[in-house]
Structure 1
Amino acid sequence: MTSKPGDTAATTAVSPFDIVFGFDMETDIGSYTTFYEGVRHGTQPLLDILAEHHIPATFYWTGHAAEHNPEMVRHVQQAGHEIGCHGLLHETLGDPIFPLPNNWPVLPSEVAGRLEEATRIIHSICGEYPVSFRCPRLWGSTQVVNVLESLGYVSDASLPLYFYGEPIVPYHPSSTDWTQQGDMKLVEIPNFCDLSAPSSDPYQRDRDQWPLFRTQSALALVEKANAFIDYVSVRGHRPVLCFYFHPWEFHPMPQGGIDFGECVVTPQPFIVENCGQYALEQFNALCELLKGQGARFITAKDLASEY
């Protein structure tokens, strides 16, 4: 019988910290193209690496990505990974953190309907309702977590610690302020950053984890992860490191301008830097380094069940 991710002793409960690997399954380069080359060509190499290291992960699909790549959704599911949701499209569902030209948030009256539709699409493809969620760009909100709770979700991995700074461990949010402890059943899983690092960015994005593993190296990302582990541990908590990646990072992306007829979109160089083989090599190295430190790898759903 073929082994599934997480079948080995790599997921023992005596590990010093937990890892949630999350992959945001979306159009290439986030909101800036209509293509799915990353989903179609970057996902299988990722699955191979995860299988090699016996690591379970959570794959957060937009409804549109799932609808246009149903075989890949089922393939990821059959490989033993959790199928989560990433919204209907790669859109701003929550509170914007920084301005993006020509990228307006979804109207509050539309949020529930879009999440319901995305949930329906994913269920229709894989036969299970998703119970883990992540907002595009990590732009969540109080409204979003309340809608998720009403739909039966058990985890949300939207909170960016680089911006909010706390809470530093998974928590049950308040129904009136998603960034505060409360009594909701949903578990909010913060996305880690180096909270001890100085910042020169108005939004503290230079403290964040992404996309350090491919713009620098796996070792550079592990150094940032270790700083977070120390920060949490000295405050008496068990560290949980929630990572976020995208399948398009593991397939070569266009360099320079992308022509759409009426406009040319040119991503900042770091957005597409080292996508493809180097990213795969560094992701593999990241898995080895974290395993070597005794990490326990767990899906978002399974982590939430422990809270």
Structure 2
Amino acid sequence: MKQILAYAFWGIFILSSGNSCSSDESSSLEEGEATNEETTGTVDPTLFLADGLVEPITTVEKTLSDGTVAMCYKITTTSTPSEHQMGPWCPTNISDGADKGGKWFENGELYDVDGAFIENMADFYSDATWKMYDENGDIYVTNSLEDCQNAANPNVGEEYENFCVECQPSYVTDITLTYYIPVTPVKLDAPDYISDGAPGGGAPPTDGPPAGGPPEDGGGEGSVIGLAFNGVNFDPPAPTSAILGAYTLAPMDDNGGHVNPNTGYHYHAATGMSSSVAQEDGHSAMIGYAIDGFPMFERLDEEGNEPSDLDDCRGHTDETRGYHYHVAAAGTNSFIGCFAGAQGSFEIN
């Protein structure tokens, strides 16, 4: 029950050496420079917030997930949001309100991780083993980098059972991440499914393409869904079954994110807190780009409606934006169901 994969627990992935790029960076984009303004289906690098960038965005040749070579934007970030605070994640006492804790996913719903949630976990999961607090109501919370790393170990020790696991941003000091996103998306003949497939738990078809997520050889393709405009990445679904199987809880904050000590802060849900670009026609706001270069938009439009013609990837096409994705509801622990395009990759620096 306590056997969990370290890379799955915290989303720790390493870029495959096969994803090489050319040695020459072809151009550097000056801040404020507009590119491809009148063309749909291409990435606009000027939408990324300068505060989240380590260096100017450049273009470089890159081998995509389908083996083709394409020009990609090289985007290096700190994974630190500039427009909102990170945390909190774990409350410290069962008397704490929702403002002292974060969020948790269960059956498509997003729950406040307040003191009452922690107190009632045995009833919530119908398992008397759950008791994450002492006789004073104080909640067991990881409070050091060592504890955080140990709780993500493939063989979680019994000493971390019934712990609320959180990593502080201060644990991540000198890590940057580089993302390679195709300048112009390359549509695949068949989609690449992500992890457990479409939001809501649907698995990829048995006769279809292989599931996404981290490849067995440790490659980086598919292990990042996309990138928000603030430089924080959209991660694949959090492995909630493995986390709960170790009798731990690893909440997201109200922004839908938490901290990985190896890669920094990242999102597992879109809760409307990150930077977005409003659309003049009332369409859902844009929140970033998928790693295949197709744009990602909020789930609902200005009138609160969700598109009715989304495909398995949660994408569709309109005349203004071309093909694009609409993210899933935050409680589904997902963003999109599959990649419609050949994916770029990322590096941990």
Q: TM-score, normalised by structure 2?
A: 0.25
Of the two, which has the highest radius of gyration?
Answer: 2
User: Which protein has the bigger strand share?
Assistant: 2
The normalised TM-score by structure 1 is 0.27
